[in-house]
Amino acid sequence: MGCQDKEISILFTDDEHISYLNRKYLNRKGPTNVIAFPLLEKEDEEMGIRVLGDIIVSVDTAKREAEEAGIDLEERLLRLVIHGILHLLGYDHERSPEEEERMQKEEERLLKIAKEVL
């Protein structure tokens, strides 16, 4: 994916905390499953800064979604982290149906690789 030398931070939290972040930074009400905050700009890369960004995952929401989908929590958490990483890399499923499909395909590809490794 071209980011072997980049760093990310991942915070696993609860619905209350992610709701606060969602409202404060995205002006959206209520909990969500994952939020990604990109930090790396082109100029930063040129200066040697390696921090790609932050990913925040609500374990509460992930648990509910895993139960609804009939999958285990670990798989749901893995998918949400991958989803967050893709957002940090510039993917945006809300931009267009084509971009949503592109992001979904990349999510599936990365999830398959991650499952093989784990």
* Single pTM value for the model: 0.88
Q: Which CATH superfamily is domain 8-117 in?
A: Metalloproteases ("zincins"), catalytic domain (3.40.390.30)
Structure confidence by residue, pLDDT tens digits, 14-58 = 999 999 999 999 999 999 999 999 986 655 555 566 788 999 999
pLDDT at position 56: 98
pLDDT at position 50: 72
Whole-number Å distance between alpha carbons of 89 and 43 = 15
pLDDT at position 66: 98
State the chain's mean pLDDT as an integer. 90
Q: Any idea where the domains of the chain sit in the sequence?
A: 8-117
